[in-house]
Structure 1
Amino acid sequence: MNKIFIVGIVASGKTTFAKQLSKELHIPWHELDAIVHHQTSEGRMKRTAEEQIQVIKEIDRKGCWIFEGTDRDSYQCLYHMADTIIFVDPPLGIRKWRILSRFMKQNLGMEPCHYKPDLIMLQMMFKWTQDFERNRPSFEAKLRMYEDKVIRIRDVKKKDQTASRHLR
């Protein structure tokens, strides 16, 4: 197991889990948001879908990896490339609470972020969550195409045990 794609919607816990798994398995972790929006001398720039795919393929050529992010068109190659796909899917209420909690922590300077944590971003996070739930059936259908390599984690408190059991 060398190539792991951790996918989930905003505030699902995928970044925290990816960091833990990376440390445990000694596999480099890559945040897909950092591939979409990269830092340049002019500031934060958005790569095109083609550029994103190129960066993903460059990382893939190096061997082992953990990628984590949401489901985007430019990430479809990861479903094919991954040995394991982990869908982090806690209940909607937990995700909504995490969005609010994160917003407050970011505005109090307790949690760093790569974007401006304003009311517009807060609204966007709730919109993305709503959109995901509305489009869940099509996402679930996509996951069924890869069911032999998908691990679903619903219970946030048990996710470490669940994934570790499957990944060893």
Structure 2
Amino acid sequence: MERILVVGVTGAGKSTLARAVSGRLGMPYHEMDALFFNGPGWAVNDKLAEDVSRLAAGPRWIVDSLGHPEVRDLLWTRADTVIWLDYPRHVVMPRVLRRSIRRTVTREVIFGGNRETWREWLRRDHPAWWSWSQHGTRHDEIERRTLDSSFAPLDTLCFRHPEETGAWVASL
């Protein structure tokens, strides 16, 4: 495990797991949303492909994302391990709702100096809506990619419940 992707639907715990694995294995962790959003107003990083290409060329890294479409194949081609948090909706939705409520109420600063707002809860790209609507689609895409020989050899660790994931992290 030298180049790891942690994948799953929004709210599954990808960032939390990636940080934990990074700390245990002493490898650089890169938060995809922080790379993607680089300024106020949810400004998108126009050098995302360059930045991700540079980090993916490194010998050791962990990224907490399936990857935004423009860098997805690059990450999957360079990765040697995929850790898939394949949790059901009844596990993910309370997590994403708690996180978004906390961020909205506390006005927590996230990615590029942005904050979640109550108004954004009405948008289709809000994390809660996105997680609900993309759950099946994301599962299918990750499954397809883990079986796709053009990304081989990929070691895939699939966890279907947080307790399985926690036991695995404890074993590292």
Kindly state the Cα deviation for residue 71 of structure 1 after the two structures are TM-superposed.
Answer: 4.3
SS in structure 1 of the partner of residue 103 of structure 2: helix
Query: How many Å separate the matches in 2 of 1:58 and 1:126?
Result: 31
Aligned with 2:89 (options 89, 92, 95): 92
The ranges of structure 1 where at least 4 consecutive aligned residues each deviate by more than 6 angstroms after the TM superposition are none
Query: How many Å separate the matches in 2 of 1:94 and 1:111?
Result: 23
Residues 156 and 79 of structure 1: is their aligned pair in 2 closer, same or farther, counting only changes over 3 Å? same
**What per-residue deviation string (whole Å, max 9, x for no partner) do you get for residues 109-167 of structure 1?**
296533332234334223312332342334422221157421111111220333565xx
SS in structure 1 of the partner of residue 115 of structure 2: coil
Partner of residue 126, structure 1: 128
Partner of residue 27, structure 1: 27
**Percent of matched pairs sharing the same residue:** 20
Residues 80 and 32 of structure 1: is their aligned pair in 2 closer, same or farther, counting only changes over 3 Å? same
**What per-residue deviation string (whole Å, max 9, x for no partner) do you get for residues 21-79 of structure 1?**
0110000100011111124xx7763124xx32211111133321111124431222111
SS in structure 1 of the partner of residue 11 of structure 2: coil
Partner of residue 142, structure 1: 145
Query: How many Å separate the matches in 2 of 1:111 and 1:43?
Result: 15
RMSD over aligned CA atoms reads 2.5
Aligned with 1:61 (options 57, 68, 75): 57
Gaps of 5+ in 2: none
Query: How many Å separate the matches in 2 of 1:122 and 1:157?
Result: 30
Residues 160 and 134 of structure 1: is their aligned pair in 2 closer, same or farther, counting only changes over 3 Å? closer
One-letter code of the match for 1:119?
Answer: W
Residue pair 1:6, 1:66 contacting (<8 A) in 2 also = yes
One-letter code of the match for 1:117?
Answer: E
Residue pair 2:100, 2:127 contacting (<8 A) in 1 also = no
**What TM-score do you get using the length of structure 2 for normalisation?**
0.79
Aligned with 1:101 (options 89, 98, 101): 98
Give the total of aligned pairs: 162
Gaps of 5+ in 1: none
Residues 138 and 19 of structure 1: is their aligned pair in 2 closer, same or farther, counting only changes over 3 Å? closer
SS in structure 2 of the partner of residue 69 of structure 1: coil
Residue pair 1:4, 1:67 contacting (<8 A) in 2 also = yes
One-letter code of the match for 1:16?
Answer: T
Query: How many Å separate the matches in 2 of 1:17 and 1:7?
Result: 10
